[in-house]
Structure 1
Amino acid sequence: MTHTWRIDGVTDAAAARAAAARLAARHGVPPLERARLASALGARLRQCLAEGGTWRLTLGVRGADGGGDALHAVLTPSSDASTAGAGTRWETTVPLPATDRPDSDDDDSDSDSDSDSDSDMVPGDDPVALSRALMNADADTALVLDRLAEQEALVAFHRDELHQTNQGVLALHAELDAAGRAQREAFAAERRARNEAEDARRRLTFLADASAVLNTSLNHGEIVRRLPELLVPRYAAEVRIWLFDEEDDPHHPVTRPAATVRAARTGRPQYAADHPGGLRGVDDQPPSVLHPDRPLLCVPLLTHRAPLGVLTLSPPGERWDPDDAVMLIELTRRAGIAIDNARRFEHNRDIAETLQRALLTELPTTPGLSLAARYLPATHGMNIGGDWYDAFHRPDGSLITVIGDVTGHGLHAAVMMSQLRTALRAYAVDDGSPGRLLTRLHKFLHRLQPNLYATAVIARFHPDESTLTWAAAGHPPPVLRLPDGRVRALDAKPGAMLGIPLEQEIADHTERVGPGSTLTLYTDGLVERRAEGIDPGIERLVAALGSFGPAELDADLEDAADRILHPLLRDSVRDDDVCLLLCHLQG
């Protein structure tokens, strides 16, 4: 059903607005939607009244685009009126609930008569009806206001919650900011600690490597040369070393800084600069007159006995890092100990070499028999050991040749070697075979030094006999070259080492020899290598001895000794002493 109202003035407008509200209520439109419809319609009616003229309001039910029914309102100017607002059309649609429709709506007739309109029209001249309609509209308005109050309360509640949330967020942001600052500070502290640890590791690594370099040499001049190479240019721009016992050139005396001289007198490190160094254990001094533009760190080279000298350094930059300066002082202390150790070793080495030369006697001259000997000390240690050789005549005219090796190195081994040599010469005065001589040496050593052992080979040549008598005690076998060029090792079973806690009688062995024969006696340092043992070395010795021609050994036995050593000692580093004795019967 369609309802139409004619509106000529404000009373008609009020009545039409009230009638539209009543019609919407009849069709079950919710109060909120009714209030919205009445408000929108009232606003449009006021605009129409302001424009003037006659207007026509049509309100009816029809199908909506999305399905279901809707209350459709249309406000248009009357066709018989000529107004300024003619042609202005206004319409709106309010969806209707699916239920609660009045029974009269089942009539689908679209009556457009005024009589149908008047049935729902509020009379404009009836104040009571208009008042009732306005009261009903106020009820809808009150309901809307109640809903609005609820929403305002809800908004206020949410506003309070939002405020509290904002306060929490602000507090959280403050905590996060504080945590971020603390984390950044922790990261910075960790970075500083990591850098300090890396610097400390770098200094300790340098100190360890430099100490190893200084201690590998037993030549104090080499240590003095290497020390500046280690420090320049990383830790020092210039390094000067003053050793007290090395005299300066009298024609060109050296002028030294006052801080260097003070360090030599006091034995304490000195720091000479125009600013305080603040170094622990270091005395501050005014800048040097000789070098006023750069700091100087003067550190004495201390030892357990007395200072050896002073190390004077200038920094690679404006000044040293305090930790670097401490490291340099420690390195100087270690350098002083290394130089002192090297000097003491050089002193003992000189004594040992003098003793060694005194113990190795000259070989005797025997008609028809040539002798050649070589002794090479180990490249490590004091260049003195227990290897020894000897050759001497007995009263019966025979020649005794011996080569031996006392366990260990150093002065103690050399002293024991000297005692064995002297004892052997004493025992050889009496008539005794090589085996008997070794047996007596065994008993002598066991009683004199129970914890010291030795090996030896003794060979005896007699001018009236064509035989060679020999005996060995724990020693590598002699090597014999026959006149026809054949070479073999005399590998008859030897006796045990001299000095071991064992009763033994060492046996003699005899070999037939003739002119052109060569007997080679040697110590294990010539043939033994850690990686391969002793047998390959003996094979090389046999090959070297067999490489000579028939007349080469007769011509120059000394040259033959050197030619034998050369292929067997290719390495310049020797862990043990080397001793070689050649006995050649002239052809």
Structure 2
Amino acid sequence: MWWSALGVTLEDVRTAVVVVEKGGLIVSANGVAQSVLGRSLEELVEQDFHDLLHRDLHGHPTPRARCQLRSVILAGGTEHGDAEWFARGDGTLVQMSWLVAPCSLGPERAAALVLLYESKGAPPDDGVHEGLTPLTELDRLALLAETTTQLTSTLDIEEALRRLAALTVPRLADWAVIDLLTERDEVRRALVAEQRDGILVEREDLQGPMPPVPEESPMPLSRALRGAASSLAGPATYQGVPDSGIAVEQGRLFNETGMHSAAIAPIRGLRDVLGALTLGRSKRPGAFTAADLPLLEDITRRAGLALDNARLYQRQRKVAETMQRHLLPQLPTVPGVDMTARYVPAPHASSVGGDWYDVFALTDTAHALAIGDVVGHDLDAAAGMAQVRNMLRAFTWSQPEAKPSAVVTQLDNAVKHIAEVPMATMILATLTRGDDELWQLCWTNAGHPPPLLVSHDGRARYLTDAHGILLGTGVIRPRPDVLTTLPPRTTLLLYTDGLVESPHSSIDHGLDRLRRHAASLAHRPLDSFCDLLLEQVRPNDNDDDVAMLALRTPPLK
């Protein structure tokens, strides 16, 4: 190289020098460059200079087509630039000026020397390079559009908060802190997060319950939680005698995070103040200014609408869950028999649906078992399910000696004339203990997936007899009954089709999958048996609710 002919090496140059071939790949770098960039020679060589190092103010790679430095390298020209940002190995940014000069690495191998040196002619401290205002109007609109899209596409509050933090860190700040007001006007520090190695990391030790909002405090966070306008803050804001518990916590936040500047804005819903967003800077040198606050307020305005929607959805979901708990019964105690049930709502619908189960005593020695599925998984289906279940209880209780098929036939006739149910499937069974101390199951199946019988040694089979037509068709056909003896330590599983059906595979595939997994879990306690079946068998693409009723017979004495 030309400097070798002069007896000069890269290490003799007292400023950072990176050698880049004409295609943009790094060939070499001196020790000063390695120190400034926080990267070893091995981490630099063969990497694209632009992609690895060049960044904008917010730490994002600059677009290749708009990068003057890259264009000069590719063109083999000479040019310099002032006060641009480069990424260090630890993820922080360093502001350097640059000078590009062409050189040769050998015959027909053009390259460039990139000298990086401390910015001497940096722009004056007018806030332009320190606040959020370097965002162009197009960048600002893009950020707000992304905020709206990201936050309104989820109804999970915790996920919305994480997305809000990811949108603002590190693009606008080093820290995102979100405080929420509960419906009881209590304050919870819901999220304190920074980005490390490209991953959003939460500081759980700084999260949790907060003191109440003081009514008269002039401190920035207290004012924001009362709905006042956004404001700026720094460590000095909280260095005096604290006027409230919130001020104490804010002082601790600044100390723990190292924030030297913060911007705080209220998060307002349609009717109430929902909380506050604090953006803080600890690594980047520039402080927030008043010019940054309008963008922050635009972001929190969108966040407030999204959180309002999520809270409304969660209220409705809570009502639905309460309704479901009242609709689905508590299981009675059947002496000698272990019994449990599960209900999982449809993932993309209300928390209620048409799937149900029931167990109730008929006599001192007999119990009725039922599981069913009314078409749909919404509030209408839940209402229809309640009608069917209540009528079934009444018919079964009034005829304790009747065969299950007779009760289901009566129920089918009633459904057509009384209940607002289009169609439904179900299994009705009676469980009794015989003179030989073995448990017997007499059942009929109205178009429902067959019961699964699993022995303790891992043999599993479906009870495919007693299959009849579903409810609500208007077709009259005889319904069969089948009596089966349940061996000791046998598990009987009744379930709805949401456990085995998938839009992308056949029902036979789902039934085979259930049988194999149930056989492998035969030795598990009944609760674990059911939980693992839900985890391992339920299809990921299933959009239906699931009900399960399982019982296990005791060993022989």
Q: When the two structures are superposed, what TM-score results if normalisation uses the length of structure 2? A: 0.53
> Aligned residue for 2:93?
none
Distance 1:570 1:534 in 2: 11
> How many Å separate the matches in 1 of 2:431 and 2:148?
55
Pairwise mapping of residues 73-472 of structure 1 onto structure 2 (< 5 A)? 202-236=139-173, 241=178, 243-244=180-181, 245-247=185-187, 249-250=210-211, 300-311=266-277, 328-367=296-335, 369-395=337-363, 397-431=365-399, 432-450=402-420, 452-464=422-434, 468-472=441-445
CA contact 2:263–2:288 (8 Å) conserved in 1: no
Q: CA separation in 2, counterparts of 1:492 and 1:415?
A: 30
1:490 is aligned, of 460, 463, 473, to 463
Q: Is the 8 A contact 1:456 1:474 kept in 2?
A: yes
CA deviations on 1:70-122 (whole Å, 9 max, x unpaired) are: xxxxxxxxxxxxxxxxxxxxxxxxxxxxxxxxxxxxxxxxxxxxxxxxxxxxx
Aligned pair count reads 366
Structure 1 residue ranges without an equivalent (≥5)? 1-197, 274-289
Cross-structure match for 1:568:
537
RMSD: 4.5
Residues 313/568 of structure 1: CA separation in 2 closer, same or farther (3 Å cut): closer
Q: CA deviation at 1:336?
A: 0.7
Cα distance in 2 for residues equivalent to 1:563 and 1:412: 30
Q: CA deviation at 1:582?
A: 2.2
CA 1:237–1:544 in 2, change beyond 3 Å: closer, same or farther? closer
- Tell me, what secondary structure is at the counterpart of 1:392? strand
TM-fit CA distance, 1:443? 3.8
Counterparts of 2:170 and 2:486, CA distance in 1: 70
Shift of 1:539: 0.8
Task: State the 1:452 CA deviation.
Answer: 4.5
1:511–1:347: structure 2 CA closer, same or farther, 3 Å change rule?
same
Contact 2:357 2:547 (C-alpha < 8 Å) held by counterparts: yes
Q: Cα distance, 1:390 vs. partner?
A: 1.3
Q: Deviations over 1:194-236 (max 9, x none)?
A: xxxx956644543343334323544434434542332133235
- After superposition, the C-alpha distances for 1:143-173 in whole angstroms (9 at most, x for unaligned) are xxxxxxxxxxxxxxxxxxxxxxxxxxxxxxx
Once the two structures are TM-superposed, the CA of residue 404 in structure 1 deviates from its matched residue by: 1.5
- Counterpart of 2:172 in 1: which secondary structure? coil
The Cα of 1:510 is off from its aligned counterpart by 0.9
> 1:305-344: CA deviations, max 9, x gaps?
334345466899677898x976654432221122122222
Map of 1:34-45 to 2, 5 A cutoff?
none
Residue 483 to residue 505, structure 1, CA distance change in 2 (3 Å):
farther
1:423 partner amino acid: M
- Seen in structure 2, the aligned counterparts of structure 1 residues 256 and 531 have a Cα distance that, compared at 3 Å, is farther
Alignment deviations for residues 262-290 of structure 1 (CA, whole Å, 9 cap, x no partner): 777787x66789xxxxxxxxxxxxxxxx9
Deviation at 1:523, TM superposition (A): 1.1
- Report the 3-state secondary structure (helix = DSSP H, G, I; strand = E; otherwise coil) of the residue aligned with 2:430: strand
Q: Measure how far apart 1:242 and its partner are.
A: 5.2
Residue 545 of structure 1 and its aligned partner are, at CA, apart by 3.6
Relative distance call for 1:257 and 1:546 in structure 2 (3 A) is same
Give the whole-Å Cα distance in 2 for the aligned partners of 1:462 and 1:559: 25
Of the three residues 531, 539, 549, the one matched with 2:512 is: 539
Letter in 2 for 1:215: T
Deviation string 1:470-502 (CA, Å, 9 cap, x unpaired) is: 2222321222346996533233474444345x2
Please, which runs of 5 or more residues in structure 2 have no aligned partner? 1-134, 188-208, 234-250, 255-259
Which residue matches 1:520? 493
| Closer/same/farther in 2, CA of residues 327 and 301 from structure 1, 3 Å limit | same
Look up the SS of the partner of 1:456 in the other structure.
strand
SS at match of 1:365: coil
Shift of 1:401: 0.8
Equivalent in 502, 508, 512 of residue 529 of structure 1? 502
Q: Larger strand proportion, structure 1 or 2?
A: 2
- Check whether the contact 2:375–2:381 (CA below 8 A) recurs between aligned residues: yes
The code of the aligned residue for 1:303 comes to G
**TM-score between both structures, scaled by the size of structure 1:** 0.51
The 8 Å contact of residues 514 and 537 in structure 2, kept in 1 or not, is answered as: yes
**Residue 406 of structure 1 contacts residue 413 of structure 1 at CA under 8 Å; is this kept in 2?**
yes
For 1:567, give the aligned amino acid: Q
**Could you tell me whether the CA contact under 8 Å between 1:450 and 1:499 is conserved in 2?**
no
How has the CA–CA distance of structure 1 residues 313 and 498 changed in structure 2, closer, same or farther, with 3 Å as cutoff? Answer: same
